[in-house]
Amino acid sequence: MAHHASVPVPDLLDDRLLRVYFSPRDELGRTRAAMLETDPRAPEKVSRVAEQPLLDLGRLGTFDDSGVMPCSVVTDGASKYLYYTGWNRGVSVPYRNAIGVAVSTDGGSTFERVHEGAVVDRSAEEPFFTATPFVLRESAGWRMWYASSTGWVVVDDRPEPVYVIKYAESDDGIVWRRDNVTCIHPKHPEEANARPWVIAGAGGYRMWFCYRRSRGYRDDLHASYRIGYAESTDGITWDRKDDEAGIDVSATGWDSRMLAYPSLYEHAGTMHMLYNGNGFGESGIGHAVAAG
């Protein structure tokens, strides 16, 4: 863990113990699955950090040989399913992403891949990449919301991806049906939407996600990321309400230029958000509490 603490994934184990999976980078910029444990009432009170990766790089040539980034964890009986973004370094573009899954049978202390290959990858209808999955286990089956790239644009002589949030279903959490359904549509041609986090309730579904605004909104690429929000009655058709996300950049400091990778958990009737600020997690993990 040389630098960064990206894409926090909370897993509330009990009233006094919150496990957070996240993605640090090594000296070569590669990511692995890491974990810390903390107090859900005050996540800054970290009690333990895992000394070894929970999931290491894939074998040379596999879809995740350059990085593993935890995105969502689902408890199903005695097993925990960790859905993650795996990535390779690219040549014509900086990287290629796909979605993998690993399973833990020891309560989330260690994980093993279900397959060495991705479970949601490029396809005929999604030719660029898939990433940042969020998965819910419901009585009718498994549901996934994920980022799907629609292409690349060149910004300051560097290729940058454009992506939307799509939807998939599964009977077992491993084999996924994808009907190319877009849930969150971009407001501008170069906007990018990713890292959905969905909460289901009696009134329907709520989603927080991060988005990159179009070039006209930014002084630089990274400063354009913000947290968005949407609502749905069925989890498929969404009404975007970014003004109701509940959080914006600070006036100064570690999260004054960007907000990204939101995740949420409820504890004692209060909603908590973990997120990244400047530099996609270079400045660490933040904690926000619902005001009402």
Average pLDDT over every residue of 2-7:
97
pLDDT at 36 over 50: yes
Phi, psi of 188 (to 5 degrees): -135, 155
C-alpha distance from residue 72 to each of 58, 86, 210, 269 (Å)? 19, 13, 15, 22
CB burial of residue 289 (10 Å; 0-12, 13-18, 19+): exposed
CATH for 73-289 (3.90.550.10, 3.30.465.10, 2.115.10.20, 3.30.1330.10): 2.115.10.20
Closest CA to 259 of 228, 231, 230, 238: 228
User: How far apart (Å, rounded) are the C-alpha atoms in residues 116 and 133?
Assistant: 17
Mean pLDDT for the chain overall: 94
- Return the biggest CA–CA distance within the chain: 49
pLDDT at residue 220 in the model: 62
pLDDT at 181 over 60: yes
Residue type, 7: V
Kindly report, residue by residue over 121-175, the tens digit of the pLDDT.
999 999 999 999 999 999 999 999 999 999 998 887 889 899 999 999 999 999 9
Kindly report, residue by residue over 244-291, the tens digit of the pLDDT.
999 999 999 999 999 999 999 999 999 999 999 999 999 999 999 998
pLDDT at 217 over 50: no
